Structure 1
Amino acid sequence: MKWEVIEEGEKALLYHYNGKVSLKQGPKRLWLVASKLKRLEKFTAHHNEYLAIELLDGYIEHKIGPCSEVFNPLVHLKIRVEKCYCLDTNQAIVTYTKTGKENKSEVNIIKGPGIFMIQPNEWVHKFSWHGEEENSKVKFVANKNKFEVLNCAPDQLYYNVDEVRTSDDALIRIKLMIFYELKDIAKMLNETKDPIADILNCSKADVIAFTARKTYLNFLETCHLLNELTEFPKLVDRSEKIGYEITKVVFRGYFASPKLQALHDSSIKTRTDLKLKFESEIQQQKQLDQNLKNDISRLTTEQELEFQKLLNHLEMNRLKVIDENRINLEEKKSKIEMDTKLKLKDLENLAKKNEQKLEHLEKLNQFNIDLTDYLVTSLSSADKHVKIVKRQDNLSGKNNENSTNIHFHE
């Protein structure tokens, strides 16, 4: 016999001596007589958790947190605290929901962001894909990567295609980096169980097809084409069918066997030496060509200078002749103008003299002076003298007063 105390928020089962069991809830103080008290365990779920409660009658109940539940063995078979699925923006899960009595199920694709709780009639799809080996990023093992939350963000993988044989039987290893992105989850679920395996196999098939039709040297010359998606038709086609998109393929280089690499290095050295000699010879020829061009350019410049000097000399002579002709012309023009002015002045003087003389003669005429006699006497002696005498009247023998006497002097 003893006292037992049940704290507030606690529950306990009280087993009596007669086999009866009763549920006690605190706060409470009990006096135990021929009985046994069993405290019940309390399960608590936080905001990102939920309680999976299995009842004795077979039903299962899920309660989203935050919540709590006391495990009662009279009612409950098991209580578990499970984590909810906390999905980011580029994450998703695939669930299957049991519907009806025919045991059929529906596929649900749930994308983040958000917190998701699985219902009792649901289960989550578990993916099992090829994954990277430990301590190696370029080797993949089947069923290595097991997960439930899909990553829908763009991602990439490193992959080495080993033992690729060229047309001249050279074995090489080709290194790739493949960028991909999940676009259609439903198509991926319907078309493939392991999309990574499909991507690896198709990329390997495209690389083998690219290399098989080329020799080793041709491969070295055209290996940069492996950076183009056009050289990976199978990979691109298969990715579209399984809901993926190949955004880019990067050729990271190649690896050959030591012997083949040694032969290649030797051939590279030989080609490099020949190339250097060839480039040196080309450089010398270019230098000679440049010197010749410089000489030709110098001679051409000198000829142009001489020709320009000659043109300048001719132009100076032409300008000199033009100036001389202009000066002579101006002198002649000035002389003509001067002579013209002198002649005009002489004519003006002569005209003034004639006017004065005419005025003088008019004045003499006013005084009834015989102008003819005056003019005759004023002239110098003449070489020839012509005289016209007045006609006498035959009857009277007198001169006619109206007749005129005219003298001509030459």
Structure 2
Amino acid sequence: MDNRSYFLEEQRCVKKNGSQEISAHCDEELHFDIPPTAAWGTTEVQLREDLTEERQETLEDTANAFQGRGRVVRNNTHFCALTSCPRILQNKKKGKMGVTFRNSASEGSIFIGKRTVKDGECCGVWDVAGKYSIIMGPQRKWMMFSRFIFMDRLIADSHQYLEVRYRNGKKENKRGPLSMFEDPIVHESIAVMNAVTVDAFEVIVVYSEDEHGNVKRNVVHGPTVFIPDVNQWLHVFRWHGSRGKDLHEKVPGALVFTKLRTIPDQFYYNAEGVRTADDTSLTVKVMVFFQLTNLEVMLNSTHDPIGDFINALLADLMNFGCSYSYEQFVQNAQQLSELDTFPVMCGRASAIGFTIGKVVYRGYAASTQLQNLCESAIKTRTELKLKAEEQEQRERMRDYEVRGAHGRGDAERAEELAKQEHQLAMRAAQHQESLKQAEDAHSKALRQKEQMAQVELAAKVAEEQAHLAYLQGLKDMGVDLTQYLVSKSEKQPDKVLKVVTAPSHFSALPINSVSHIGGLNIHTNV
């Protein structure tokens, strides 16, 4: 193999042989038109990475068709027959077919050759007689003087559908998941459409036409996934809305949608040109809260509820503005947050199936000159007010200090009086306690004396009872109690001398002396 190589491109072929370059242009079939003087030897063909698979197969078919060296003359144009083409290097990898699926952008003509249709592809072919046939992969077909085009494959998932338009005028919606090839002979177009997902707080309005041409309106409530039939279409709402980031300016038809929300909603609006009684032009800023309550009434009564709200709101604001001067308008601006100020808007909302929940007043804007004058007047009033408040604050501080001094004196006196009252109360309590203690001690002593007297009395009674018992016993024994008592009552001598005559052998014994002292008899030996 020599050092020469050929780089085959879609629009030209460049032969490099040292420093010599020979350029040649290709026709629509990619057969190479090169000068007759070009020398050919054993060559190796390399396909560039950016070539499509169809172009690569065309080159391969050409190399297989022309076996041997020579030229084919057609329309005075020289076509080269490659001497040898042992291999085709696709994407610089041997023997591997591309994994990219071809679509309708892959089309062309085949002089003589074959075409491979991979699994997952579909190709339409017109032969030389104009007859059309379909090749569904995987197949490899030989073709001659044919025109081919690969078909687009359309895929729809479970939340999509295919909108199929046929060349005979029919239309069909096929729900996913599915896939179809777009046949240029049968189909005018196939489009992948998304199903309409309706949330729980949304509704859609669907119109259906029967075979007699009668149209019926239905309301579909969420949550659901809706796929329209061929004879159905959705109602498209076109309301006043905002464009861009400016939410306060409403433009007719700017808000386009098919799903209508039934939950409370709101919109901002700046009402320009509101004139007061003294002909002052103001821009009033409000926010309106509303909610759809009757869909049928709304569909039958209006095509743009927001536009109706805005017109009624302007009417109410004009009536409110012309009732007050500028200063009165500023003073009574809080009334713009009350629903009673907007009877026209509330009445119109009720007539078209809506309710107005609340209106929030967000301020106003005037002309630049008037705004400057108002700001200057506000600044002056604020300065005077601050000075008056400062002076008033000083006076209040002085009054506070005087009241504080009086209050402190009253508090000190009250505290001293409380101390004295507390001391007197403590002394009285101590005196009462001492009296109570003395009284308790005296009562205790009296109780002790009473108890001792009772004990002595009881003892004396017991003694008397015992003595009576003793006397009764003496009486029972025959003793003369009178004599006994008389003898007991006589006074006893203090000393008694008793002489006892003893036998002779006891003559030496001493004489006993008996003394009676305090009722005791004392014997004394003499």
TM category (shorter chain) comes to 0.5 to 0.7
**Could you tell me how far 1:182 is from its partner in structure 2?**
4.2
CA separation of 1:28 and 1:233: change in aligned 2, threshold 3 A: same
Deviations 1:225-282 (A, max 9, x none): 3334443333334334434444443322211122322332233233223322332333
User: Corresponding residue for 1:198?
Assistant: 308
Alignment of 1:67-216 (within 5 A): 67-71=179-183, 73=185, 75-76=186-187, 78-89=188-199, 90-101=201-212, 103-134=213-244, 136-152=246-262, 154-216=264-326
More helix by share: 1
Give the residue type in structure 2 aligned to 1:145: L
Distance across 1 between alignment mates of 2:272 and 2:347 = 23
CA separation of 1:218 and 1:151: change in aligned 2, threshold 3 A: same
Deviations 1:331-368 (A, max 9, x none): xxxxxxxxxxxxxxxxxxxxxxxxxxxx89x869xxxx
Give the residue type in structure 1 aligned to 2:319: A
Distance across 2 between alignment mates of 1:283 and 1:197 = 53
Alignment of 1:5-404 (within 5 A): 5=115, 7=117, 10-12=122-124, 14=126, 17=129, 21=131, 23-26=133-136, 27=139, 29-30=141-142, 32=144, 36=146, 38-39=148-149, 41-47=151-157, 48-65=159-176, 66-71=178-183, 73=185, 75-76=186-187, 78-89=188-199, 90-101=201-212, 103-134=213-244, 136-152=246-262, 154-301=264-411, 304=414
Number of residues paired by the alignment?
Answer: 331
TM-score (norm 2): 0.52
Give the residue type in structure 2 aligned to 1:224: Q
**Could you tell me how far 1:322 is from its partner in structure 2?**
9.5
Give the residue type in structure 2 aligned to 1:258: T
**Could you tell me how far 1:192 is from its partner in structure 2?**
1.2
Seq. identity, %: 29
**Could you tell me how far 1:72 is from its partner in structure 2?**
5.1
**Could you tell me how far 1:68 is from its partner in structure 2?**
0.3
1:239 and 1:245 in contact (8 A); partners too: yes
SS at match of 2:394: helix
CA separation of 1:56 and 1:255: change in aligned 2, threshold 3 A: closer
**Could you tell me how far 1:198 is from its partner in structure 2?**
1.6
**Could you tell me how far 1:295 is from its partner in structure 2?**
4.1
Deviations 1:36-86 (A, max 9, x none): 55546344132144333334543322222322044252x44x122141234
Deviates more, 1:116-125 or 1:38-47: 38-47
Deviations 1:105-145 (A, max 9, x none): 11133344554322111122222222224453221222233
Distance across 2 between alignment mates of 1:307 and 1:117 = 94
Distance across 2 between alignment mates of 1:83 and 1:318 = 104
Distance across 1 between alignment mates of 2:263 and 2:174 = 31
2:242 and 2:254 in contact (8 A); partners too: yes
**Could you tell me how far 1:201 is from its partner in structure 2?**
1.8
CA RMSD of aligned residues (A): 4.2
Distance across 2 between alignment mates of 1:323 and 1:153 = 82
**Could you tell me how far 1:197 is from its partner in structure 2?**
0.8
Give the residue type in structure 2 aligned to 1:104: N
CA separation of 1:289 and 1:62: change in aligned 2, threshold 3 A: same
CA separation of 1:112 and 1:71: change in aligned 2, threshold 3 A: farther
Distance across 1 between alignment mates of 2:261 and 2:340 = 27
**Higher RCO (C-alpha under 8 Å, 6+ residues apart):** 1
1:42 and 1:70 in contact (8 A); partners too: yes
User: Corresponding residue for 1:372?
Assistant: none
1:6 and 1:12 in contact (8 A); partners too: no
Give the residue type in structure 2 aligned to 1:173: T
1:6 and 1:25 in contact (8 A); partners too: no
User: Corresponding residue for 1:341?
Assistant: none
Distance across 1 between alignment mates of 2:424 and 2:237 = 99
CA separation of 1:202 and 1:325: change in aligned 2, threshold 3 A: closer
TM-score (norm 1): 0.65
Distance across 2 between alignment mates of 1:145 and 1:267 = 42
Distance across 2 between alignment mates of 1:100 and 1:315 = 111
**Could you tell me how far 1:28 is from its partner in structure 2?**
6.0
Give the residue type in structure 2 aligned to 1:271: R
Distance across 2 between alignment mates of 1:322 and 1:128 = 98
Deviations 1:143-167 (A, max 9, x none): 2333334455554332111121122
1:53 and 1:80 in contact (8 A); partners too: yes
Give the residue type in structure 2 aligned to 1:83: M
Specify every segment of 5 or more residues in structure 2 that has no aligned partner in the other structure, as ranges.
1-110, 440-485, 492-526
CA separation of 1:109 and 1:45: change in aligned 2, threshold 3 A: farther
